[in-house]
Amino acid sequence: MGVRDGLLPGRIVLVNGGSQGVGAAIARAAVREGAVVAVTGRRTEPGEALVAEPAGAGGKAMFVRADLADADRARSAVAEVVDGFGRIDCLVNSAGLTSRGTLLDTTPELFDAHIAINLRGPFFAMQAAVADMVARKAPGTIVDVITSSAHGGRPFLAPYAAAKAGLMGLTRNAAHAHRWDRIRINGLNIGWTANRLGQPDEIADFVVFLLSDRSGVVTGSVIDWDQNVLGALD
């Protein structure tokens, strides 16, 4: 994988949940567009293998082992990136828990797990990243990877839909709060990605575009990245 100037030249990008799946695709796309990338994950081996790719191509990368269900760890992971690279320019919240539960069978423990990973972790990671940007009076960009289920979702995804709907609201709230700080915050409601409805590499390219200056002044947008048209019926 080669490193070149592109949409994110020299930007310091942290991808939470970036050691596998969509997050890993985003990390690779950011590197291809010239970024210096850090990724978080709970498992060391895939995370270190991923960051070895840009390092081997002459780029820089960092793996931060972190369970983002821990709010303090979500914040300290950002601090490690700032300590390692001097700042953070872009944040992607891609970590997610998708375990199933309906309204009737979801336990408090399962509900809390979804809130911790899908909402609380992104909240406090954003808090730490925005604090660094504001302290430096520097612009920045954030993309929250959400889900089309945030609009309601299937019955067996009740706690997942609830937590991700909260993240959708947070994305818009934070974007409004920090628009005059030149910090742009957007979200992507993705559909299923293991079939042809959407491929991780395609999602990654779109996330990189939102992180970059090419997306202009766009902030507070939550984009439905899916083939389904919300509210349309046959």
Q: The CATH number of the domain where 145 resides is what?
A: 3.40.50.720
Query: Is 233 inside any structural domain?
Result: no
For 33, 120, 214, the CA distances from 8, given in Å and listed in that order, are 5, 27, 10
For the chain, list the strands marked E by DSSP: 12-16, 36-41, 61-65, 90-93, 140-145, 183-190, 222-225
Tokens found for residue 172: 């818009």
Q: Is 63 a catalytic residue?
A: no
pLDDT at 210: 98
Query: What does the DSSP 8-state code read for residue 118?
Result: I
Phi-psi region of 214 (alpha: psi -120 to 50; beta: other; left: phi over 0): alpha
**C-beta of residue 58 within 8 angstroms of C-beta of residue 32:** no
Helix axes 200-211, 21-32, angle to 10 degrees: 50
Tokens 């979801």 label which residue?
A: 106
* Cα–Cα dist 19/21, whole Å: 7
Write out residues in the chain with pLDDT < 70, as ranges. Answer: 1-5, 55-58, 192-198
pLDDT attached to residue 60: 82
Any idea of the CA torsion for 167, 172, 173, 179, to the nearest 10 degrees? 140
Retrieve residue 51's tokens: 């960051």
- What are the pLDDT digits (tens) for 161-217? 999 999 999 999 999 999 999 999 999 999 865 565 568 899 999 999 999 999 999
pLDDT for res 58: 61
Residue 41 lies in a domain: yes
Query: H-helix or E-strand containing 108?
Result: helix 108-115
What tokens appear for 198 in the block? Answer: 């959407």
Of 63, 160, 206, 225, which residue is the catalytic one? 160
Q: Which residues contact 56 (CB under 8 A, 6 or more apart)?
A: none
Give the tokens for residue 41: 């994950």
What pLDDT is recorded for position 2? 45
Residue 201 lies in a domain: yes
| Inside any domain, residue 115 | yes
Question: Which residue bears the tokens 């809130």?
Answer: 115
Tokens coding 46: 């895939």
Domain that holds residue 196: 12-225
Is residue 130 in a domain?
yes
Residue 186 lies in a domain: yes
Number of domains making up the chain: 1
Q: What is the pLDDT of residue 3?
A: 47
If DSSP codes are grouped into helix, strand and coil, which group holds residue 100?
coil
Note the pTM of the prediction, 2 decimals: 0.93
Residue from 12, 10, 151 nearest 92 by CA: 12
